[in-house]
A and B are shown apart, each in its own frame.
Chain A
Amino acid sequence: MGSTVVMDDPAVQVEKLTLIYESNNQRVEALHNVDLTVDKGSFVSLIGPSGCGKSTLLRVLGDLLTPTSGQVLINRKTPREERLERRIGFVFQEPALLEWRSILANVMLPLELRGTPREERETRAHELMKIVGLTGFENAYPRQLSGGMRQRAAIARALSTRPDILLMDEPFGALDQITRDRLNMELLQIHEVTGITVVLVTHSIREAVLLSDRIMVMSPRPGRISRIITNDTPRPRTLESRNSEAFDALVREGNRELEKGCADG
């Protein structure tokens, strides 16, 4: 990946980002002077122990939180501008589907809210259902589907407006290992086919290494990026990529860094 990317046109540019909030009359520095650059079309993971601010950072990128100081640009625009232009896709840990809507209607929701004509949004939704492997479940209701399938629908929904960037907050955390592996592969394929930039928050170093071009290891108190690990393993990757010597080395490196972060804290 790295060598072909045009470095002066990043998808995400974060400079000196600090976010402080008050909790029980105590100042908590959730993020301290964070710098982050994500190249267009690349796959970046944020990993670290709880309280390191990885979700906070992701929510700042998605305009769900406003930083105390520092600059955040997504495709040269502020997160708010990007969000209001519907150029941000966000996948949460829970699928958060509307129970009263069919899967197809759930996938179409962002297009409906934007005012896309019915025919167009249906075409797009059917296309997405195919991409995430939910064809045949258009008329099912969320509670009729398994956890993995619900999360697939949530991913399709996040992709519906053709966003520039896909932000994912531990999207597979609640799934069993087999489902998780399968969804990892599907996510790799979506990334491959659409060329979308992905920023993924995860607890699993193995998942991060498997999927990412770069892994941002974060540490807590105050939240910051303590190390960047680059994974140059060629794409397309498969689950077998995990059996290589290089993969193990990267996982070891990540674990070492994570342990150090914990010891410091």
Chain B
Amino acid sequence: MADTVTPQNSRSTAKRVMDNVGPPLVVLTVMLIVWEAACRWLDIAVYILPAPSDVFSAFAKHGGTLLYHTGITSMEAVSGFVIGSALGAILGTMFAYSRFLARGFLPFIIAANTIPVVAIAPIIIIWFGHGITSKIAVTAFLSFFPLALNMMKGLQSYDRVVMDVFYIAGASPMQRFFKMRLPNALPYVFVGLKLNVTFSVIGAIVAEFVQADRGLGFVIMTAYRSMGMPRLWAAMLLSALLGIVFFLIIALLERIFVPWHASMDERE
């Protein structure tokens, strides 16, 4: 085994950022140019494939309303994510501490998890009404399982010898939970949260497909019916952007709260 490992990388931060961001930027630029050129020269109909410039002018024309609908969908996704994750964390903790509860409930939870969200969304909307609440409920339903399962796994994955260390030190059950099992579970928790946050955008939009008078899902459906393809593309890109931003926020939180985990090491 080597002696101490020096934590600092000699490469400068600016260069590392360029290494990560440079290549995708080049690919994106080339792709946009080819796409625009193809639409113009091959004379592709707008409803088949709008050119980037068409999508851009849709942004310019409907910017205000698109932003409003993005805000609605974000609100639904975030609320559903928070509620679903909180419920998942509580249930996962209960499962980790009670074999009876875990064995009793898990088969049903896993079965429920296989229900396609489009199948259950209408039912939830009937239960929770036509407002925003039902969209939040669908989102919460979808962003609940990953954290429940990962929380349970994380809380159970502690090292037996570390448990002995806490026993010798006369630790209370509360101390064992907060100073050992919970911090130890954090990498798993973030795996669950990253899945949840992606599902939450999907959940909100699917719920809006089923029934809504606002939100990105609503924009996509109305644009589809009126063949307003540039607007549809704009809404699609915004929903993708939403998912990416939420994911990055969780990844940032992970860097802050789990800097010690091996997966946080620089990838060579």
Residues of A within 8 A of B (CB): 62-64, 83-84, 86, 88-90, 92-94, 96, 98-101, 109-110, 112-114, 137, 140-141, 143-149, 157, 161, 176
Q: Tell me the chain B residues, 220-238 only, with Cβ under 8 Å from chain A.
A: none
- The complex places the Cα of A98 from the Cα of B161 at a distance, in Å, of 11
Q: Is B179 interfacial (CB 8 A cutoff)?
A: yes
**A92 and B169: CB pair below 8 A?**
no
**B260 and A141: CB pair below 8 A?**
yes
**A113 and B171: CB pair below 8 A?**
yes
Residues of B within 8 A of A (CB): 1-5, 7, 159, 161-162, 164-171, 175, 179-180, 183-184, 186, 258, 260-262
* Pairs A-B, 7 closest by C-beta atoms: A96-B161, A110-B169, A100-B260, A90-B168, A147-B1, A113-B169, A96-B162
Of the candidates A92, A100, A145, the one having the most CB atoms from chain B within 10 angstroms of its own CB is: A100
CB distance from B254 to the nearest CB of A (A): 13
CB distance from B136 to the nearest CB of A (A): 33
**A140 and B4: CB pair below 8 A?**
yes
- The complex places the Cα of A156 from the Cα of B179 at a distance, in Å, of 19
**A90 and B164: CB pair below 8 A?**
yes
- The complex places the Cα of A99 from the Cα of B175 at a distance, in Å, of 17
Residues on B with beta carbons closer than 8 Å to the beta carbon of A83 = 167-168, 170
- The complex places the Cα of A52 from the Cα of B4 at a distance, in Å, of 37
Given contacts A113-B175, A113-B179, contact A144 B168 (CB under 8 A): no
- The complex places the Cα of A96 from the Cα of B180 at a distance, in Å, of 12
Query: Which residue of the partner chain A has the closest CB to B265?
Result: A143
**A109 and B169: CB pair below 8 A?**
yes
Q: How many A-B residue pairs have CB under 8 A?
A: 77
**A96 and B260: CB pair below 8 A?**
no
- The complex places the Cα of A88 from the Cα of B7 at a distance, in Å, of 35
Query: Which residue of the partner chain A has the closest CB to B5?
Result: A144
**B166 and A113: CB pair below 8 A?**
yes
**B168 and A64: CB pair below 8 A?**
yes
Residues on A with beta carbons closer than 8 Å to the beta carbon of B186 = 100
- The complex places the Cα of A143 from the Cα of B261 at a distance, in Å, of 9
- A-B CB contact pairs (8 Å), 6 listed: A94-B159, A99-B261, A109-B169, A146-B4, A148-B1, A149-B4
Extra A-B contacts (7), CB below 8 Å, given A144-B4, A148-B1, A149-B4: A64-B164, A64-B167, A83-B170, A93-B161, A144-B7, A146-B3, A147-B1
- The complex places the Cα of A146 from the Cα of B4 at a distance, in Å, of 6
Residues on A with beta carbons closer than 8 Å to the beta carbon of B7 = 144
Query: Which residue of the partner chain B has the closest CB to A85?
Result: B170
**A96 and B183: CB pair below 8 A?**
no
Of the candidates B7, B165, B180, the one having the most CB atoms from chain A within 10 angstroms of its own CB is: B165
CB distance from B96 to the nearest CB of A (A): 18
Residues on B with beta carbons closer than 8 Å to the beta carbon of A109 = 165, 169, 179
- The complex places the Cα of A113 from the Cα of B179 at a distance, in Å, of 9
- The complex places the Cα of A88 from the Cα of B166 at a distance, in Å, of 12
Residues on A with beta carbons closer than 8 Å to the beta carbon of B164 = 64, 90, 92, 96
Residues on B with beta carbons closer than 8 Å to the beta carbon of A176 = 1
Given contacts A92-B161, A145-B4, contact A100 B168 (CB under 8 A): no
Residues on B with beta carbons closer than 8 Å to the beta carbon of A110 = 168-169
**B170 and A98: CB pair below 8 A?**
no
- The complex places the Cα of A237 from the Cα of B162 at a distance, in Å, of 33
Residues on B with beta carbons closer than 8 Å to the beta carbon of A114 = 169-170
- The complex places the Cα of A89 from the Cα of B169 at a distance, in Å, of 8
CB distance from A252 to the nearest CB of B (A): 32
Residues on B with beta carbons closer than 8 Å to the beta carbon of A93 = 161
Residues on A with beta carbons closer than 8 Å to the beta carbon of B180 = 98
- The complex places the Cα of A114 from the Cα of B166 at a distance, in Å, of 11
Of the candidates A86, A98, A110, A144, the one having the most CB atoms from chain B within 10 angstroms of its own CB is: A98
Query: Which residue of the partner chain B has the closest CB to A84?
Result: B170
- The complex places the Cα of A96 from the Cα of B165 at a distance, in Å, of 8
**B170 and A137: CB pair below 8 A?**
no
Query: Which residue of the partner chain B has the closest CB to A62?
Result: B168
CB distance from A112 to the nearest CB of B (A): 8
- The complex places the Cα of A245 from the Cα of B1 at a distance, in Å, of 34
Residues on B with beta carbons closer than 8 Å to the beta carbon of A148 = 1
Given contacts A146-B1, A146-B2, contact A99 B171 (CB under 8 A): no
Given contacts A137-B4, A146-B3, contact A98 B183 (CB under 8 A): yes
